[in-house]
């Protein structure tokens, strides 16, 4: 079984609808992230969470909200979807290794969202 | 964040070594060099990372120039499964955000011929 799972894998919705993307992980990591990927723009960070009570905005959080229901679950919501939110969305986890001074991220398979 | 420059694409024959270059001339002393790859229809996957010394793991080797302004990811024997986009990323060890923000750029698309 995959360590980081995302549901749904594909979603088509209409402008103005509320959408929730879900992410679950079995790696036992405290840190979880949501990114979006657009052609030519790489990955951009939407929100990140260091634990259940610690949620932070990333660089492109406008129009999105998140919920960290448990250590293993991190949901991304689009309150009122718009067409320019059409993208590939990735959830990731990491466990910070202070000794190394860096962290490795583990990504889910992605959710392809289309907003018409 | 310091930038990286990679070729848009490279081609290799199966079973041959592949050297993927990355330039990072503005790297700071606390930047780690990370490599990730993204296979078709999948999320990015960690490959290797290093700070100053060359690194080896089961997937690849990372050769870091003495001045740290460039690095090379080495796949010792390319397979068809290695066809992917490879991203060279700098991560500042002082950045406790944890996220990679915008520094997943376009990467290098590796084509492997049978």
Task: Tell me the pLDDT tens digit for each residue of A67-104.
Answer: 999 999 999 999 999 999 999 999 999 876 654 556 78
Identify the band that residue B102 occupies on the pLDDT scale cut at 50, 70 and 90.
very low
Compute the 3-state secondary structure of chain A and give helix, strand, coil in percent, each to the nearest 5.
Answer: 5, 60, 40
Query: To the nearest whole number, what is the mean pLDDT of chain A?
Result: 90
> Between chains, do B98 and A59 touch, taking CB under 8 Å as contact?
no
d(CA B84, CA B75): 12
Indicate yes or no: CB of B44 within 8 angstroms of CB of A103. Answer: no
Nearest-CA distance from B62 to chain A in Å?
Answer: 16
What gap in Å lies between CA B79 and CA A46, rounded to an integer? 34
pLDDT band with cut points at 50, 70 and 90 for residue A10:
very high
pLDDT value at B77 more than 90: yes
Reference A75, options A18, A36, A25, A23; nearest CA is A23
Residue B52 has pLDDT above 60, yes or no: yes
User: Which pLDDT band holds residue B3 (cuts at 50, 70, 90)?
Assistant: confident
List CB contacts (< 8 A) between B107 and chain A: 42
Residue of B nearest to A110 (CA): B43
Residue B1: predicted pLDDT: 55
Mutate to test the interface with A, among B98, B103, B107 (most CBs of A within 10 A): B98
Give yes or no for A59 touching B (CB within 8 A).
Answer: yes
pLDDT digits (tens, 9 = 90+) for B21-43: 999 999 988 888 999 999 988 89
Residue from A23, A116, A14 nearest A76 by CA = A23
A61 and B CB contact within 8 Å: no
The answer for B 36-55 residues in CB contact with A (under 8 A) is 36, 41-46, 49, 51
Contact A45 B91 (CB under 8 A): no
Per-residue burial over A42-66, b = 16 or more CB atoms within 10 Å of its CB, e = otherwise: bbbbbbbbbeeeebeebebeeebeb
Closest CA to A69 of A7, A5, A28, A24: A24
Most confident of A92-101, B1-10, B78-87, B90-99: B78-87
d(CA B35, CA B33): 7
Identify the residue with better confidence: A95 or B110: B110
Confidence band for B101, pLDDT divided at 50, 70 and 90: low
Least confident of A6-20, A84-98, B60-74: A84-98
pLDDT of residue A103: 74
């Amino acid at each position: 079984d995959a360590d980081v799972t995302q549901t749904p894998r594909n979603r088509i919705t209409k402008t103005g609808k509320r959408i929730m993307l879900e992410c679950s992980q079995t790696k036992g990591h405290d840190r979880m992230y949501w990114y979006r990927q657009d052609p030519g723009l790489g990955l951009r960070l939407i929100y990140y969470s260091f634990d259940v009570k610690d949620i932070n905005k990333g660089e492109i959080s406008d129009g999105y909200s998140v919920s960290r229901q448990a250590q293993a679950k991190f949901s991304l919501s689009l309150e009122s979807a718009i067409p320019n939110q059409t993208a590939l969305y990735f959830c990731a986890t990491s466990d910070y290794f202070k000794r190394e001074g860096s962290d490795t991220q583990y990504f889910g398979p992605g959710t392809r969202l289309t907003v018409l | 964040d310091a930038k990286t420059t990679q070729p848009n694409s490279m081609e290799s024959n199966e079973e041959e070594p592949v050297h993927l270059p990355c330039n990072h001339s503005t790297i700071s002393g606390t930047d780690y060099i990370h490599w990730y790859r993204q296979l078709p229809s999948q999320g990015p996957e960690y490959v290797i990372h290093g700070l100053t010394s060359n690194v080896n793991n089961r997937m690849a080797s990372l050769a870091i120039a003495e001045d740290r302004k460039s690095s090379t990811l080495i796949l010792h024997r390319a397979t068809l499964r290695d066809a992917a986009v490879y991203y060279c990323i700098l991560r500042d060890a002082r950045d406790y955000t944890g996220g990679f923000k915008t520094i997943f750029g376009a990467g290098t698309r590796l084509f492997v011929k049978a």
